[in-house]
Amino acid sequence: MTINLFQTSEYKMLMEEHLSKTILYLFEKESEFAIACEIQHITFTPELPTSILETFKETVLFILSGYAFETAKLEEGYLSFEAGFGEDNFGSTVLVPLLAIKQLFVGDNPIVMNFAQPNKKKVASSKNSMEALLNNPENKKLLKKKKL
């Protein structure tokens, strides 16, 4: 049986550490950079309007310069930054899992290539969702009123 070396937990840990250390190095040197990422793993807060999301391909290039670079942070396996999108410069915080970064560029030079895939996000089951809902006492009151 052949294993895919680029999807082993050891390789994923190695790549995440490499990406993290490289980005921290670029922050320390105040060197702006770009990342090519898989859009399916990226979270936007607030969520981007559909008209903007539809313009993205499977892989998107973010150039971290100016305000986006100034707001960029590295936290627990994620890179986040603020950016404006579309003609109206719709503001959103972009949260990118490090392993969703496929390439990292400084200028025109690709300095990191990543073949590892991020781990799949776990979707909460309906039971877990209901438990989360019932953890808030205000929601319990609403459910009691509904049953009456």
13-59 pLDDT per residue, tens: 999 999 999 999 999 999 999 999 999 999 999 999 999 999 999 99
- Please check the confidence at residue 125 and state whether its pLDDT lies above 50: no
Q: What is the mean pLDDT of residues 105-133?
A: 71
Poorest-pLDDT segment among 39-48, 60-69, 96-105, 121-130: 121-130
pLDDT of residue 147: 47
Q: Give residue limits of the domains in the chain.
A: 5-121
Alpha carbon distance 9, 110 (integer Å): 24
- Residue appearing with tokens 């936007």: 44
Say if residues 69 and 32 touch (Cβ distance below 8 Å): yes
41: tokens are 């793993």
How much of the chain exceeds pLDDT 70, in percent? 80
- Match domain 5-121 to its CATH number in 3.40.50.1370, 2.30.30.220, 3.30.1360.180, 2.60.120.10: 2.30.30.220
pLDDT of residue 121: 57
Q: Which of 92, 143, 115 is nearest to 4 (CA)?
A: 115
pLDDT of residue 54: 93
The secondary element (H helix, E strand) that includes residue 44 is strand 43-45
The secondary element (H helix, E strand) that includes residue 103 is strand 101-106
